[in-house]
Chains A and B, each alone.
Chain A
Amino acid sequence: MITLLHEQRESQWPDDCADGDALWLDAAAIEQATGWAWKPEGLCHGDVCVPLPPAHKSELVRNGRLNIAAMWRRTGQPVVHDAASRHWVLGTGAAQRGAAMATLQAPDFALPDLDGREHRLSQYRGRKVFLATWASW
């Protein structure tokens, strides 16, 4: 079983999806794992589409599946995995993170309290929020 982490998503995929540095997923799997849509025009998120480079299409697409790890790297975003290629993180790139921050809209998140109850930042819309971090360490 392959575990794929992206932002706050965690999804599981069959072993044969991963091969070294490659991760082969179909369009439905990509959408579920990352929120990005694989369309004829490329890999899309909202209004933004990153086209698949025609010269490399044969390396990136195989049997209806896209090497999402290779495509992710092409968008300048980090891809890391363990030695056995069983646990993967598709990170968010600096440019993408910076662009989101520059809108000044506070990025939403969902985190549990000690009882396991999930809280979303967006559920506090309409109130001022003092969002403060701490740690035991």
Chain B
Amino acid sequence: MWQSLFDELKDHHFTVLAVALDHADAARPWIEAAKPAYPCLIDREHHLADLYNLVNVPQAMWIDEQGRVVRPPETAGSTDGFRAMDRKTFTVPDAVIAERNQVKTQYIGAVRDWVLRGASSANALDEAQAAAKLKEPDDKVAEAHARFRLGQHLLRVGQADEARAQIAEATQLHPDSWAMWRQAADKDARGLASGPAFWARVDALGSKPYYPRPDIA
């Protein structure tokens, strides 16, 4: 997904680190098909979501040479355009596709500008700006991550019923997390949690975004 960005910028003290919030067997075919030259890591228990308070993919963080977060987690170039899809024909209006491409291009352009210009890039946030954008977890979110982790572990050791109960409780405690819900949801033949339950959950968002739009200059 980020291959051309990586190829273009890899000689500028830059790397992409892609992390799949996913099981290895599900992520493997995608990685093997795309053959990215940047590291692709597997995060079965969603550690990264716990550490960085993530709720969905693709969310991304920009981290500078000193390990400082210069952009906290935000949607990485995706839009809510899929919500305009005709659910019988699976088609999306051309204008929506055009907007999706424009947003993606703008986001990648912002990453490129930061890599080339560093702190002077308009989208590299100073400490006060970055701190203002942080979304810190509350107690329910913290407990949800503990239960999700226990659930993933119990799946691994074969306690499937208890695992499901823990993960269900996690998703109730943290309803904003699409990552927890979709990881655990029933998947279709393509491996997507995009059945009626998914659409019902999306529709329940109402005017709230599925992919909140980042504030990119």
Contact = CB atoms under 8 A, between A and B. Distances in A.
Nearest to A88: B150
Interface in A90-113: 90-94, 97-98, 101-102, 104-107, 109, 111-113
A56 interface: no
B194 to A, nearest CB: 9
A106 B139 contact: no
30 contacts: A78-B147, A80-B143, A89-B146, A89-B147, A92-B50, A97-B137, A98-B137, A102-B136, A104-B69, A105-B67, A105-B68, A105-B69, A112-B42, A114-B40, A114-B42, A124-B15, A125-B66, A125-B67, A127-B65, A128-B15, A129-B15, A130-B111, A131-B19, A132-B60, A133-B54, A135-B21, A136-B22, A136-B29, A137-B22, A137-B182
Nearest to B142: A94
Contacts of B43: 111, 133
A32 interface: no
B7 interface: no
B161 to A, nearest CB: 10
A87 B26 CA distance: 25
B182 A101 contact: no
B39 A119 contact: yes
Contacts of B17: 119, 121, 124, 129-132
A132 B18 contact: yes
B68 A106 contact: yes
B63 A131 contact: yes
Contacts of A105: 67-69
Interface in B21-54: 21-22, 24, 26-32, 39-43, 47-54
Interface string B142-182: 11011101100110010100100010000000000001001
A126 B145 contact: no
A17 B206 CA distance: 49
Interface of A: 3, 5, 7-8, 76-83, 87-94, 97-98, 101-102, 104-107, 109, 111-114, 119, 121-122, 124-137
B139 to A, nearest CB: 5
B142 A122 contact: no
A106 B63 contact: yes
A97 to B, nearest CB: 5
Nearest to B181: A137
A135 B191 CA distance: 10
A89 B115 contact: no
Given A5-B149, A114-B31, A133-B48, 18 more contacts: A78-B139, A80-B166, A83-B162, A87-B150, A89-B147, A94-B138, A94-B139, A101-B53, A102-B136, A107-B52, A127-B14, A129-B15, A130-B62, A131-B62, A134-B20, A136-B29, A137-B26, A137-B185
B199 interface: no
A73 B151 CA distance: 20
A124 B162 CA distance: 38
B204 interface: no
B65 A82 contact: no
Nearest to B169: A80
B51 to A, nearest CB: 4
A137 B54 contact: no
A129 to B, nearest CB: 4
Nearest to A107: B51
